[in-house]
């Protein structure tokens, strides 16, 4: 099972791919989010049904799972379901309860000092399967800036309480009863202020696949939670995460994604007292962290840098840096081309 098979789609014949990233500022969910839903739904519907509708949970199962594990999110969930048209299938997908399996690459690391905290990450995935939407919202008191996935889930993001999160695939084939990690990250950013609060959520909310979730806050605290559907979460003060959990279990994926090489590179950097923010961030723009394997869906789609002390984030591509904050968030579009000759933004 590779990235394409896990997504339920087939790889593009052509190597060159294009993705347009959009920044969208809408504090109360409304017409802008609704437009995003209608734009992406034609792609999400076949993905959600790729294994057959019977493989997906019923609406009642989805609702009850949310009510049991993340009840504070129900108000937002109802609002988004209504904006999506109130359909049964779209409402089930939006719950992100027991969705189809999907696999990413990703590298992430925290550099914490008494002065500031930085969470940096590379997102490695097929570009054509990435939404590319950076959402600024205020759905539940806290302002949130996040890279969206599955229409309201979070790949990485930050809230105005100074909490930043990022996910990476955990490198295991196991699939079980739980939620897609992006909705768990959304829940954390909407309702948590600190790393201990986020860790408590990661320890109790079930996930449907293995993921490594890194969380950092403005006080310099950080953890990486290794979560999975078949065992209790392992939550430790670890600053680095790639695509395995403690040991290699899926050797083919580990080899293709170079998870051990990337982990070692990041560990050397964060363990070196001489490493500055700039040195860490620069490392994400070069091999082995930055990857060009777009043919197999393991190329780097973007680099994200979160600075929770400043309420500021950067999204990076070769030759382009998008600097955003809670006080300055312009709506714009950036088109990025991925291919055998490298990556170009415009």
Q: What is the DSSP letter of 307?
A: E
User: Edge-to-edge, what's the strand order for the sheet holding 333-339?
Assistant: 231-236, 222-228, 211-217, 163-169, 153-159, 142-149, 133-140, 17-25, 333-339, 342-345
Residue 124's closest CA among 139, 109, 108, 113?
Answer: 108
Which runs of E-coded beta strand occur in 231-296?
A: 231-236, 240-241
Whole-angstrom Cα distance, residue 90 to residue 98? 14
Spatial separation of the C-alpha atoms in residues 100 and 232, rounded to whole Å: 22
pLDDT at residue 8, as a whole number: 37
pLDDT at 296: 85
Rounded Cα–Cα distance for residues 189 and 157 (Å): 8
Q: Which residues, 6 or more positions from 38, have their beta carbon under 8 angstroms from its beta carbon?
A: none
What secondary structure does DSSP assign to 212-245, as a single string?
Answer: EEEEEETTS-EEEEEEETTEEEEEE---EE-S-B
H-helix or E-strand spanning residue 198: helix 195-204
C-alpha R_g of the chain: 18
* Rounded Cα gap, residues 141 and 128, in angstroms: 33
Whole-angstrom distance between the N-terminal and C-terminal Cα of the chain?
Answer: 34
The predicted-structure confidence for 223-273, as pLDDT tens digits, reads as follows 999 999 999 999 999 999 999 999 999 999 999 999 999 999 999 999 999
At residue 342, the pLDDT reads 62
pLDDT of residue 343: 65
| Residue numbers in the chain where pLDDT is lower than 70 | 1-15, 340-346
CATH number of 103-345: 3.60.60.10
Local structure of 321: helix, strand or coil: strand
**What dihedral do alpha carbons 302, 308, 313, 317 form, nearest 10°?**
-30
Q: What is the pLDDT of residue 169?
A: 97
Q: Domains of the chain: which residue ranges?
A: 103-345
């Amino acid at each position: 099972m590779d990235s394409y098979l896990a997504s339920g789609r087939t790889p593009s014949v052509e190597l060159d791919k294009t993705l347009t990233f959009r920044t969208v500022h809408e504090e109360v969910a409304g017409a802008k989010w609704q437009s995003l839903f209608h734009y992406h739904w034609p792609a999400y519907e076949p993905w959600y049904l790729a294994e057959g509708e019977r493989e997906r949970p019923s609406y009642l199962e989805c609702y009850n799972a949310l009510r049991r594990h993340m009840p504070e999110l129900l108000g937002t969930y109802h609002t988004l379901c209504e904006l999506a048209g109130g359909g049964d299938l779209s409402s089930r997908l939006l719950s992100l309860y027991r969705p189809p399996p999907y696999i990413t690459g990703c590298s992430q690391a925290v550099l914490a000092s008494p002065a500031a905290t930085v969470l940096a990450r590379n997102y490695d995935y097929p570009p054509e399967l990435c939404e590319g939407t950076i959402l600024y919202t205020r759905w539940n008191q806290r302002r949130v800036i996040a890279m969206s996935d599955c229409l309201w889930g979070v790949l990485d993001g930050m809230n105005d309480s100074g909490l930043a999160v990022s996910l990476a695939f955990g490198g295991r084939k196991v699939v079980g009863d739980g939620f897609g990690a992006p909705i768990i990250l959304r829940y954390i950013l909407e309702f948590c202020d600190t790393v201990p609060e986020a860790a408590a959520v990661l320890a109790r909310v079930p996930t449907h696949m293995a993921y490594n979730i890194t969380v950092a806050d403005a006080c310099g605290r950080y953890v990486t939670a290794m979560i999975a559907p078949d065992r209790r979460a392992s939550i430790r003060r670890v600053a680095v995460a790639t695509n395995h959990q403690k040991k290699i279990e899926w050797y083919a994926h580990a080899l293709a994604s170079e998870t051990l090489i990337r982990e070692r590179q990041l560990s050397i950097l964060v363990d070196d007292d001489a490493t500055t923010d700039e040195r860490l961030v620069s490392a994400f723009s070069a091999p082995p962290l930055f990857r060009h394997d777009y043919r197999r869906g393991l190329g780097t789609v973007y680099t994200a840098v979160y600075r929770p002390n400043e309420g500021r984030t950067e999204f990076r591509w070769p030759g382009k840096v998008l600097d955003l904050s809670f006080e300055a968030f312009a709506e714009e579009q950036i088109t990025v081309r991925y291919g055998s000759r490298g990556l170009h933004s415009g």
